[in-house]
Amino acid sequence: MKDIFKSIEAYRLWEKEEPRSPEDKASFIADRIDVSDRDLNAFITLDREAFSRKAKAAFSPERRKSPLGGVPVAVKSNICVEGELTTCASRMLEGFRPPYNATVIEKLDHEGAFVISGANMDEFAFGSSCETSAYGPSRNPWDEDRIPGGSSGGSAVAVSSGQVVCALGSDTGGSIRQPASLCGVVGFKPTYGRVSRYGLIAFASSLDQIGPLARNVTDCATLLKAISGYDEKDSTSVNIEVPDYCASLGMDIKGMKVGMPSEYFQEGIDGDVQERLREAVKALEELGAEILEVSLPHTRYAVSCYYIIGPAEASSNLGRYDGVHYGYRDEEARDMIDMYVRSRTEGFGDEAKRRIILGTYALSSGYYEAYYLKALKVRTCIAEDFRKAFEVCDAIVTPTSPTTAFRIGEKSNDPLKMYLSDIFTIPANLAGIPAVSIPCGLGDNGMPVGMQLMAAPFAEEKLIRIAHAFERNTGFHELKPGTIED
């Protein structure tokens, strides 16, 4: 499959070299996805009727004037697209078609993007491997026997395999950055409140954030600019000016201070991942960045803190799916209680049930103070660690994931090992700060390794500046899986 969707620039060149009617272009994109998705399962559904319906508007000459005009953008299946299947990869929402668009979809429509809904994911975003989907796991295009990461696995696969130019995912504890790292693409989690969550089907409302994935930093910045901004329909949206992120592209990083937290470079990281990170840090230093050691002492509590707060909020958010108000309903139940039990038992998968049970327990009488309230206090300490660190540095560099992509099924029966996959990404969500994962080489097994950069709240442009400088001087983003041919 020719790598014509590796960037917005390459896509525009293809449009120019091979002009097609809007209908032909939509059919070409759908066929392209069909061919590779038989093996990769990046999409839960592919609505050809929606393709045809959108084609004329998205591929009109007027829309091409916009940076995203006509550009194929995959959308994770927990972001509402009016009239199109939005299932959260769960049987509980099987057949659900939202009556409205999420704000980010409205913004993409305004920009003329060609929105492709239904990217596969972990059920209700509960997972780190994209294996909990009720529609089967997505597969890593670098090695189809391995996981792509989660929960935005389908979005990362669609970008990495060249099915689309870029994608939207959601990030609650690393769900954009971790699959971006494992699939060799760029994934950006904005500051909490930078991008509207209206129309995002909630996992944990104080942690969730929508963000972009792309094959390079430039396209990521373009998409981030398009979806950012205040939204009065989201009470957590912050009314602050959105910079022109693309203005940070091409700037050097001489004199910028980048912190290395010792807590992120200890036991538990694969040797090859650690080696790639040290090489990446050296490259940043050679580009003029000043590398200094910082401390984030409460990092060791982040996973424990997250797996109290996240499931607690999930338990509350998923309470609405009872077979009456929303979601799957068992029609053979004997009475109301039986209907509740059967509907939730059959509608939710194992991981969703595990999160609901954990969260309900943490919020229950007698345990609220011991678990949930204490976790909130620890969260404040984690945020304070970052605040102090950013007083002396512009950004913090860490691994994105402690390992490269593991094999499908390898950790399915060990939830604790699975949860530890997000050990380096969770703190950014707890603190509400922006973070990006960018490719920084390959592990000993030939699988991608990602470098994570974090910055102070609403300092996304600093991350774009550093990430782009690293990218254009290393070229790791040009590495690609074997599913794409030159």
What does the angle CA 94 – CA 203 – CA 236 come to, to the nearest 5 degrees? 125
377 in catalytic set? no
Cβ pair 119, 75 in contact under 8 A: yes
Coil, strand or helix at 373? helix
Give CA 319 to chain center in angstroms.
24
User: Which of 117, 175, 248, 401 is flagged as catalytic?
Assistant: 175
Per DSSP, the residues of 97-118 read --SS--HHHHHHHHHT-EEEEE
Residue 13: Cβ within 10 Å count = 12
Using an 8 Å Cβ cutoff, are 370 and 430 in contact?
Answer: no
Tokens of 245: 């992120």
Q: Are 486 and 270 in contact (CB under 8 A)?
A: no
The long-range contacts involving 145-148, CB below 8 angstroms and separated by at least 24 positions, are 145/407, 145/408, 146/182, 146/405, 146/406, 146/407, 146/408, 146/447, 147/182, 147/405, 147/406, 147/407, 147/408, 147/410, 148/179, 148/182, 148/183, 148/405
Query: How far is residue 36's CA from residue 458's CA, in Å, rounded to a whole number?
Result: 37
Point out the catalytic residue in the list 76, 107, 411, 480.
76
Nearest to 294 by CA among 389, 360, 226, 206: 389
- Both tokens of 420, joined, read 């530890």
Catalytic site residue 6? no
| Catalytic-labelled residue, pool 133, 151, 181, 343 | 151
* Helical axes 302-317 vs 374-389, angle rounded to 10°: 120
For residue 133, give both structure tokens.
Answer: 């989907």
- What number of CA atoms fall less than 13 Å from residue 280's CA on the CB side? 32
- For residue 151, cis peptide bond before it (omega within 30 degrees of 0): yes
> Strands of 257-261's sheet, edge to edge?
114-119, 72-76, 166-171, 209-214, 186-189, 435-442, 448-454, 395-399, 257-261, 290-294
Q: What Cα–Cα distance (Å) separates residue 485 from each residue in 4, 80, 361, 432, 459?
A: 10, 33, 51, 39, 37
* Sign of the alpha-carbon dihedral angle for 427, 359, 155, 128: positive
Active site residue 76: yes
Residue of 352, 375, 480, 448 lying closest to 7 (CA atoms)? 480
User: At 402, which amino acid appears?
Assistant: P
Residue 451: Cβ within 10 Å count: 28
Task: Write the DSSP symbol of residue 289.
Answer: P
Which sequence positions are flagged as catalytic? 76, 151, 175
